[in-house]
Amino acid sequence: MSNPFRTLWHKWKALPLPWRKRWLAGTDLAGNSYHYFRSSLSQRPRRILTPSTRIQFSDVLIPVQWHQWLRYTRPHPPSVQELQLDVQRQIELKKLAAAADARWASKPSVLDAPRRRNQELAVGDGEGSVGVVGRRGESVGASEEDRGEGERLGKGVKGEDVRDSWGEGERGRGKNPFIKERPKNPGEGWQPESWQPPGAAR
């Protein structure tokens, strides 16, 4: 419950009387006071912060509402009730954020045990689920399901080895159609002859 004498004193200090050079605009929850003051360089009253004597100057924290008032982004100073509601809102927001983080941490992540499957080569993740895939789709150290999938990847529609047509199988002697041939240099196959020392002159 607020002190009635303090409330009456703040109302008296907030009156913009003609002989006053500055008057009270309001206070925050930390005890800092904010004032209007007249300046000869400006027609409108200026705004200033007076920190509390119970707080170190380096530890003074200005609420967002009062910071807006000091920057002339809001015309009227905030009330104590508005500051209390904002503090309660921040507390509830922190609780909701902590609950959301706990729910997110309880869910399994796909990054915990990555499963990498490749047609030609797959390195296992250390759990024995995926191993090295051989030339014919057989995986070393993999399960039956993964081995069957590797066989399906290595075979075509009619059961033929697709990689044989690219020169990677045992029967195929073809070329990979996706690899362009590099133009050959005329002197690419040239090799220097072995050097023979000349005979000694007699």
- Which ranges of the chain have pLDDT less than 70? 1-2, 112-175, 202
pLDDT for residue 113: 62
Residue 137 to residue 162: CA distance in whole angstroms: 11
pLDDT for residue 101: 93
CA dihedral 56, 57, 58, 63 (to 10 degrees): 100
pLDDT for residue 145: 54
Residue 51 to residue 33: CA distance in whole angstroms: 6
**Residue-wise pLDDT tens digits, 33-53:** 999 998 887 778 899 999 988
pLDDT for residue 16: 83
Q: Could you count the other beta carbons within 10 Å of the beta carbon of residue 20?
A: 14
Spatial CA neighbour of 118 closest among 95, 105, 137, 97? 137
pLDDT for residue 186: 77
CA dihedral 88, 53, 23, 19 (to 10 degrees): 170
pLDDT for residue 165: 47
